[in-house]
């Protein structure tokens, strides 16, 4: 063997030995044959074990609109307290009052028979303090009534939903304002003397009558609003000149009675604020896997859904609430494809977080934005886990990869 042949043989031997060495710890992550891309879906694996339909604590309090009426199994009543009561008219008498007129401003949204439906409601004095935390529809309507006093007005008619809606004007009794303007002397520590102060009142209630067939929305209290419910009081002053006292809605809240929802459905109910928590179990995916994509599809059950005189929502949202915090950690939007499928294109961030723990978690599907949550009463029902047509059940697809270098040591 000549010198050149011996040299080549020696080099081949060295290369052969080096190829049998194990790769370094750093290099092993770069070897493609150690990474395995896998997919999993809810068609063949139980990834969504349960759902929970619940009514969120989202009171319709001072959102700029109120609801009154009955339709689609809902009954909506509203309490309104009027602001800007002066403490200088405590001596006003009924004979000095010429007129007490309530002006209400309908808005274009309505639910129910919007073509020929009848809006009918009564107005009552509210005799007790109420608040957003402890007062609800049942407590307001319990018999015998303990919130409402005498009936002081009523309305029955059809509101035509045209481009410009005419206000509703109702006459109220003069003694209502006399009661509201009464004052008492209280000590003012800043002035170091007793001063008149208006005695608190609890406002009025708009309670729908049994023959109402539509729910109308009216302008409510709003910081920047100019068309909220307002009481105008024309009265004679000490100089016998006619003056007008304007009392605008200062606090209002709508209370809605609604039947319990089917726990087998996925429900998003605007205004009423029924939301649905979807629970996931991805514990079969090894911890610390690479989660590349998680996609969720929901399918609308059109036979159970309904809308008012606006199209049904085409965008909904889902939120992941870490440790049940009020503010979501992750928020996702879904748009309808026009045929009833709503796709959350990626809930990957939540699945990645769950995969670092026990693989289990949940998201809450709900209306998107304040308009839908507080100013509409549309209902979206999606097929649940037990839908007869299995292709309409909520569908989760996950793509992930296995990399031994990332596995947690046992």
Residue of 353, 397, 404, 282 whose CA lies nearest to 39: 397
pLDDT digits (tens, 9 = 90+) for 205-232: 999 999 999 999 999 997 776 789 999 9
- Whether residue 64 is found in the same domain as residue 49: no
19 pLDDT more than 60? no
pLDDT digits (tens, 9 = 90+) for 308-335: 999 999 999 999 998 776 777 899 999 9
DSSP label at residue 359: S
Number of folded domains that form the chain: 2
In a domain, residue 15? The reply is: no
Range of the domain at 90: 60-257
In a domain, residue 17? The reply is: no
**In DSSP terms, which residues pair with 331 in a beta bridge?**
319
In a domain, residue 284? The reply is: yes
Count Cβ atoms below 10 Å from residue 220 Cβ, excluding itself.
29
In a domain, residue 263? The reply is: no
In a domain, residue 4? The reply is: no
pLDDT grade for 28, boundaries at 50, 70 and 90? very low
In a domain, residue 264? The reply is: no
- Whether residue 220 is found in the same domain as residue 76: yes
Res 328: pLDDT: 78
- Whether residue 225 is found in the same domain as residue 342: no
- Whether residue 38 is found in the same domain as residue 69: no
- Whether residue 280 is found in the same domain as residue 240: no
**344-382: b or e for each residue (b if 16 or more CB lie within 10 Å)?**
beebbebbbebbeeebebbbbbbbbeeebbbbbbbbbbb
Q: 21 by DSSP, 3-state: which?
A: coil
Q: Which of 196, 225, 257 is where one domain is finished?
A: 257
- Whether residue 103 is found in the same domain as residue 212: yes
pLDDT digits (tens, 9 = 90+) for 59-102: 999 999 999 999 999 999 999 999 889 999 999 999 999 999 99
- Whether residue 47 is found in the same domain as residue 68: no
- Whether residue 183 is found in the same domain as residue 244: yes
pLDDT digits (tens, 9 = 90+) for 340-360: 999 999 999 999 999 999 999
- Whether residue 385 is found in the same domain as residue 289: yes
- Whether residue 75 is found in the same domain as residue 96: yes
In a domain, residue 288? The reply is: yes
Q: Which of 228, 257, 286 is where one domain is finished?
A: 257
- Whether residue 52 is found in the same domain as residue 132: no
Q: Residue 170 phi/psi, 5° resolution?
A: -130, 140
- Whether residue 161 is found in the same domain as residue 310: no
Tell me the whole-structure pTM to 2 decimals: 0.86
Res 35: pLDDT: 66
């Amino acid at each position: 063997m000549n010198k050149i042949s011996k040299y080549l043989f020696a080099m081949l031997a060295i290369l052969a030995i080096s190829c049998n060495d194990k790769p370094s710890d750093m290099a092993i992550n770069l070897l493609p044959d150690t990474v395995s891309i896998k997919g999993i879906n809810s068609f063949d694996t139980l990834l969504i074990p349960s759902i929970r339909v619940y009514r969120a604590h989202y009171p319709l309090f001072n959102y700029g609109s109120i609801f009154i009426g009955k339709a689609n199994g809902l009954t909506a009543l509203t309490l309104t307290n009027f602001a800007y009561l002066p403490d200088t008219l405590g001596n006003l008498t009924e004979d000095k009052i010429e007129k007490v007129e309530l002006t209400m401003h309908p808005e274009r949204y309505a639910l129910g028979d919007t073509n020929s439906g009848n809006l009918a409601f009564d107005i009552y004095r509210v005799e007790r303090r109420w608040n957003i935390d402890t007062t609800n529809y049942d407590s307001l309507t319990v018999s015998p009534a303990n919130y409402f006093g005498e009936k002081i007005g009523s309305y029955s008619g059809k509101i035509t939903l045209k481009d410009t809606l005419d206000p509703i004007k109702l006459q109220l009794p003069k003694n209502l304002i006399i009661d509201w303007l009464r004052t008492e002397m209280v000590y003012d520590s800043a002035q170091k003397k007793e001063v008149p102060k208006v005695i608190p009142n609890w406002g009025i209630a708009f309670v729908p009558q049994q023959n109402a067939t539509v729910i109308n929305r009216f302008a409510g209290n709003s910081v920047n609003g100019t068309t909220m419910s307002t009481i105008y009081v024309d009265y004679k002053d000490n100089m016998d000149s006619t003056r007008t006292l304007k009392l605008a809605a200062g606090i209002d809240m709508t209370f809605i009675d609604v039947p319990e929802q089917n726990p087998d459905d996925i429900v998003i109910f605007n205004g009423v604020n029924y939301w649905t928590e979807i629970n996931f179990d991805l514990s079969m995916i090894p911890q610390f896997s690479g989660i590349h994509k998680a996609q969720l599809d929901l399918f609308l059950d059109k036979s159970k859904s309904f809308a008012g005189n606006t199209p049904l929502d085409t965008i909904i949202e889902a939120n992941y609430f870490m440790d049940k915090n009020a503010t979501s950690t992750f928020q996702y939007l879904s748009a309808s494809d026009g045929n009833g499928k709503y796709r959350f294109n990626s809930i990957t961030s939540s699945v990645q977080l769950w995969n670092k723990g026990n693989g289990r978690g949940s998201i809450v599907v709900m209306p998107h934005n304040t308009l839908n949550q507080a100013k509409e009463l549309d209902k979206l029902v999606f097929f649940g886990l037990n839908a007869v047509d299995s292709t309409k059940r909520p569908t989760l697809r996950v793509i992930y990869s296995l990399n031994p270098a990332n596995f947690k040591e046992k």
